[in-house]
Structure 1
């Protein structure tokens, strides 16, 4: 995720359209994240007997990982998240073929599939305020509309499926 403290010196011009995911450096990889937080929502993913996932059958809930700040939509311990949540998925280029459940606007998924970044992406607008406004207008992001998984039963989570995240 690109933040004010992320060094931009190592971001190659238009790296997202010139290189594959496996060719990106750490800062480029992190800069692809739009910060929507959708990947941190509890979701129901059914696999067939071959382990394949039909992305059209993935159901997202509005229930977020215990580390998510539901007001801001950011992980409270991003850099060390796996120390707190060992099964937190570490997104890598190698795992992308099995991660098509990511939202359709996800830059990692779009670059993997050879698609352009959404017009509102920070790498294109180069303005965090404009990006946030355009993401909000496009109904993208979990900030202000998720709840924490802490203390929630599996049965309650099953009632919280939403339709505002599209794989």
Structure 2
């Protein structure tokens, strides 16, 4: 039987036990958190759009100013334990959501694969599928509704 010390941190620690380095390492770099979402005021249903935050690099799926992002985008959410528990739009593939639910990371997560490109190769990320919010009027976001972020990422390959 394997020693717990041999297990990766996300399998042996709860989110609230992780240090900042481990917490940040869980982000798979998919960019889905940075997509604008629309919420139906009556039902609470959340729909993703392909309209990305002005700071998202649409190819790398990384924030172009992560350290200072909240100065430019005050509504940017700093994901924390409360957010993981309460944010209804975290994609089913989100590592924070998976670990919180007691599930393992998918094969394409770089902590499993050893390669930050596998999230893109698996088609899970927003890579090259977005348009900047700087190019779309808010009232036109409905024209950019998408379904691809709700994929579970369970395909093999």
Please, what TM-score do these two structures have when normalized by structure 2? Answer: 0.84
Q: Is the 8 A contact 1:22 1:94 kept in 2?
A: no
Shift of 1:90: 0.7
Q: CA deviation at 1:111?
A: 0.5
Question: In the alignment, which of 6, 13, 19 is matched to residue 19 of structure 1?
Answer: 13
Alignment of 1:65-104 (within 5 A): 65-104=53-92
CA separation of 1:93/1:84 partners in 2, compared to 1, >3 Å: closer, same or farther?
Answer: same
Secondary structure at the counterpart of residue 115 of structure 1:
coil
* Residue 140 of structure 1 pairs with residue 124 of structure 2: yes
One of 10, 24, 30 as aligned partner of 1:30: 24
Report SS of the residue matched to 1:69: coil
Q: Which runs of 5 or more residues in structure 2 are unaligned?
A: 1-5, 152-157
Match of 1:43 in 2: 37
Q: Deviation at 1:44?
A: 1.4
**C-alpha distance 14-104 of structure 1, shift in aligned 2 (>3 A):** same
Partner of 1:9: none
Q: 3-state SS of the aligned residue for 1:59?
A: strand
Number of equivalent positions: 146
**Normalised by the size of structure 1, how large is the TM-score?**
0.79
Q: 2:100 aligns with which of 106, 112, 123?
A: 112
More helix by share: 2
Alignment partner, residue 62 of structure 1: 50
